[in-house]
Structure 1
Amino acid sequence: MYKVVTPTSNTDFDAYFQFRWAHLRQPWNFPPGSEKDEYEQVAEHRMIVDGKGNIVACGRVHLNTAEEAQIRHIAVDTHHQRKGLGQMMMSALENVAKELGAERAVTNSREISIDFFTACGFYVEREAPNELGMLKRQQMVKKLTENNSLVMHPKWCKSLQQTWSDTIPITEHMGIKLYQYTGRTLETRASLNKNINIHGTMFAGSIFSLATLTGWGLIYLQLKERGLEGDIVLGDGDIHYHKPITMKPRAICNIESLSGKYSPLEKQQKARFELSVNILDGDTAVAEFEGVFWVLPATENENDDH
């Protein structure tokens, strides 16, 4: 289970800068300290940690002007790559940039990273100054808008949102919307105003529903990825609440938390899946959901009707 956190203590920052140097400077034989620059004190720093608290990714954003934010120092540990963590970090940094009032984001990308930033919605604008006097880079730009997000397979995502609306009407009343799908990570968001209790926080039942639908949605999209169909039902769900939600309800489900086999569905048998969903208030982790879902093949549903 991964989550985005903000380094706050000296210990946090020591580990954060050590990770940054080890992944972005040491491979080029630059000494410790070369990972820092004059913007550290005015920048917003983020890192992704695993279930044991180990740093597995990092990134930074700062304002160049009131309208422009610069994203730098994106790195993902080699043992945790191809799990959507780069996109997860980019989403967190872009959200920070928008909250700071930026209207566009820029990044100076090395050649090997251009495809990644392009997939995140950036385009090459011009050649950028070489990094540390030797690493050739291109400046890439992305316009930031309120609904700016990375959505792969938009037709499937639209179908999922419509399925929720048609078969689970409560999603409309709760204001639950699919926000982002990277192919490996699904993020949903809900309206706090539509789910607020007398204490000014989100109903616990609404949080549980948001988590359940997010897990349900990731399985739905993964079935689409494999050309499979079935009726997804919740078998069991357990949630642990740590803090109330007072600002921005978010739910994130990563594919690495999903376990189960699709092969039974190919044999027209029901399949069992387990997954985890992280619930956040903005960038603050507030709850974790563990769910067991069953996918019933179409033929089984038809037989049940007779």
Structure 2
Amino acid sequence: MFRVATPKTEEELEQYFTFRWTYLRKPWNFAPGSERDEYEQVAEHRVIMNGKGEIVAAGRVHLNTAEEAQIRHIAVHGDYLRRGLGQMILGALEGVARELGAIRAVTNSRETSIDFFSSCGFVIEREAPNELGMLKRQQMVKKLTDPGIVMLHPKWCKELQDTWTETIPITEHMGIKLHQYTGRTLETRASLNKNINIHGTMFAGSIFSLATLTGWGMIFLQLKERQLMGEIVLGDGDIHYHKPITMKPRAMCHIESLSGKFAPLEKRKKCRFTLQVDIMDDNNAVAEFRGVFWVLPPKKENDEEE
């Protein structure tokens, strides 16, 4: 399981800067310390931790003006590439930028990173000053006016949200919304106020519903990725609660947790999938859901009973 965290203690910050140097400066033979600049004290820093508490991705954001945020120093551990962690840390930094009041984000991208930022909604605005006097960069910009922006396949995500609203009306009453889809990670959120119990925490049943819909949604989007159709049903679900939710209900499903094969569906046979959904209270892990889902092939017109 991966989680976003903010390095705060001296030790945590030192590990964070060492990580940045290792992946952003050391390959270019720059000395330790070159990873830092004059904005560190006024910037917001974020890392992604794995289940062992190790940093696997990092990044930083600071305000250039009241309306413009600059995102810098995004790095991902070499053993964790192509797992959606780049999009995950970028999404976290964009979220911070919105909370700070920014309506646009800029980043000075090296040529090797342009495709990544382009896939996340950034566009090239102009050439930027070279980094450390030698690394050519382009300034890229993204509007942040839509706080619920989805990074990948927005049409599919809208279809998923509409499907929930039209076929499971309770999702609207619970305030369950798709927050982000990167192709490898699906994040949903719910309104605490609409799901609060007499103890001031989220109903356990609401947490289970949020987790179930998130797992269901991941399979829905994976079917779209493969241009397949089918009816998704929950076969079994098990959830373990560790702490109550008192702030911001979030659910995240990573593609690595999805186990099963889509091939039988192409032969009009049902498919069985298992997956895990991690439940967070803001950035704190509070529960894990493990579910079994079945995907049934769509019926043909002549399959209906006479």
Q: Which moved more, 1:127-136 or 1:207-216?
A: 127-136
Q: Deviations over 1:138-173 (max 9, x none)?
A: 222222124342343333222222222232221121
Q: Helix, strand or coil for the counterpart of 2:221? A: helix
Q: Deviations over 1:7-36 (max 9, x none)?
A: 233332222222111110010001112111
Tell me how far apart the structure 1 counterparts of residues 67 and 242 of structure 2 sit (CA, whole Å). 36
Gapped runs of 5+ residues in structure 1? none
Query: Compared with structure 1, are the counterparts of its residues 246 and 145 closer, same or farther at alpha carbon in structure 2 (3 Å cutoff)?
Result: farther
Tell me how far apart the structure 2 counterparts of residues 298 and 271 of structure 1 sit (CA, whole Å). 12
* Residue 254 (structure 1) aligns with: 254
Aligned length: 306
* Residue 9 (structure 2) aligns with: 9
Tell me how far apart the structure 1 counterparts of residues 236 and 148 of structure 2 sit (CA, whole Å). 34
Q: Which moved more, 1:205-214 or 1:276-285?
A: 276-285
Return the letter of the residue paired with 1:76. Answer: V
Q: Does 1:209 align with 2:248?
A: no
Q: Deviations over 1:67-115 (max 9, x none)?
A: 2221110011222222211111111001111112222211111111112
* Residue 18 (structure 1) aligns with: 18
Deviation at 1:197, TM superposition (A): 1.6
Q: Which moved more, 1:205-214 or 1:122-131?
A: 122-131
Return the letter of the residue paired with 1:224. Answer: K
**CA contact 1:68–1:102 (8 Å) conserved in 2:** yes
Tell me how far apart the structure 2 counterparts of residues 145 and 87 of structure 1 sit (CA, whole Å). 19
Gapped runs of 5+ residues in structure 2? none
Q: Which moved more, 1:146-155 or 1:181-190?
A: 146-155
Q: Does 1:171 align with 2:187?
A: no
Root mean square deviation, CA, Å: 2.2
Tell me how far apart the structure 1 counterparts of residues 263 and 299 of structure 2 sit (CA, whole Å). 15
Tell me how far apart the structure 2 counterparts of residues 127 and 77 of structure 1 sit (CA, whole Å). 28
Q: Does 1:49 align with 2:44?
A: no
**TM-score, length-scaled by structure 1:** 0.92
* Residue 68 (structure 1) aligns with: 68
Tell me how far apart the structure 2 counterparts of residues 175 and 183 of structure 1 sit (CA, whole Å). 23
* Residue 98 (structure 1) aligns with: 98
Identity %: 74
Deviation at 1:211, TM superposition (A): 0.9
* Residue 84 (structure 2) aligns with: 84
Q: Does 1:236 align with 2:261?
A: no
Q: Does 1:197 align with 2:190?
A: no
Query: Compared with structure 1, are the counterparts of its residues 267 and 33 closer, same or farther at alpha carbon in structure 2 (3 Å cutoff)?
Result: same
Return the letter of the residue paired with 1:84. Answer: G
**CA contact 2:202–2:246 (8 Å) conserved in 1:** yes
Return the letter of the residue paired with 2:240. Answer: H
